[in-house]
Amino acid sequence: MVLGFFGLYSFVIIALFPGTFQQFVSPFYSPEVPLPNWMPGFVTAPMLVLWIPLGFRATCYYYRKAYYRAFFFDPPACRVDVQQKDRFWAGKNAAEGYRGERALFVWNNVHRYFLYASIIVVLFLWYEAFVTLFGPQGFQISIGSLLWFLNIVLLSAYTFSCHSFRHLIGGNKDCYSCIRGGNARRKTYNFVSRLNLKHPQWAWLSLFSLLATDIYLRLLQTGVITDLKIIG
Ligand code: FES
């Protein structure tokens, strides 16, 4: 439900409102891409990018578990429950009844491609975070810039703790001493594995930091608050 709200919020925001204030760019609007002339009027430039983070979250292994259970009750919990449920509803053995992700949700297997695209988006968001350090009067550190940095740190933790990234970085190797740079690869894999243990927490924290960052920008735009400078 929270993920659904997040998707709805982000679509309404990018469809109706501008995404910048001084040096601050909302994370929903980055990277800023040109809108081709032939696009229908209701399409805005950020929509050409937003499908990447939304698709990344929608196909995330952790979110899948959450929304399969919450919306479809399928599987409801562990395999034992699956068997009970399938016997109840389908009247047959779970091995025959449960189709896992071979039916409608087979498209979730594109997750690794969303990961590749999301890494590019994350790099742009790091750039946008550094840009917040340079206001109209030059270098500064403000509450806003700290928020932008907090957001990108959490987003990076979420992106690089991804199960697909863990597989990519070293999970697909059986023998590190047999490959070039194996030691570095093993250390990176161990680091990502530690990050991966908290993947659900990174998923939620980064979701809320995205919302908080965008809401902060809206408050600046409407003049409800001013960005408090700490240095500069
Ligand atoms: Fe959650 Fe890849 S498994 S982002």
Angstrom distances, CA of residue 108 to CA of 12, 73, 99: 25, 17, 14
Q: How many helices (H) and strands (E) does the chain have?
A: 10, 6
The winner for highest mean pLDDT among 39-43, 91-95, 157-161, 176-180 is 157-161
CA of 160 to the centre of ligand 1 (A): 9
Q: Determine if ligand 1 sits within 6 Å of the CB of residue 204.
A: no
Nearest residue to 200 (alpha-carbon basis) of 162, 151, 147, 168:
162
**pLDDT-based confidence at 6, cuts 50/70/90?**
confident
SS3 231: strand
Residue 9: the pLDDT is 92
Q: Are 143 and 228 in contact (CB under 8 A)?
A: yes
- Quote the CA–CA distance of 21 and 37 in Å, as a whole number: 25
For residue 26, what is the enclosing H or E element?
none
Whether 78 shows a pLDDT value over 80: the answer reads: no
SS3 20: strand
Q: Which atom of ligand 1 is nearest to the CA of 63?
A: 1
The pair of structure tokens assigned to 107 is: 């498209």
Q: What is the DSSP string of 107-162?
A: GGGGHHHHHHHHHHHHHHHHHHHHHTTEETTEE-EEHHHHHHHHHHHHHHHHHHT-
Residues comprising the chain, all counted: 232
Residue 100: the pLDDT is 60
The winner for highest mean pLDDT among 4-13, 167-176, 217-226 is 217-226
Q: Which atom of ligand 1 is nearest to the CA of 56?
A: 4
**pLDDT-based confidence at 96, cuts 50/70/90?**
low
Atom 1, ligand 1: which residue's CA is nearest? 60
Atom 2, ligand 1: which residue's CA is nearest? 162
Q: Determine if ligand 1 sits within 6 Å of the CB of residue 61.
A: yes
Q: Which atom of ligand 1 is nearest to the CA of 60?
A: 1
**pLDDT-based confidence at 74, cuts 50/70/90?**
low
**pLDDT-based confidence at 97, cuts 50/70/90?**
low
Q: Determine if ligand 1 sits within 6 Å of the CB of residue 164.
A: yes
pTM, whole model, 2 decimals? Answer: 0.85
Q: Is omega for the bond preceding 36 within 30 degrees of 0, making it cis?
A: no
Pocket test for ligand 1, best of 67, 161, 201 (most atoms within 8 A of CB): 161
Residue 28 DSSP code: G
Q: Determine if ligand 1 sits within 6 Å of the CB of residue 122.
A: no
> Ramachandran region of residue 123, left (φ > 0), alpha (ψ -120 to 50) or beta?
alpha
Q: Determine if ligand 1 sits within 6 Å of the CB of residue 62.
A: yes
Q: Determine if ligand 1 sits within 6 Å of the CB of residue 162.
A: yes
In this structure, what is the dihedral angle of CA atoms 20, 25, 29, 31, given to the nearest 10 degrees?
130
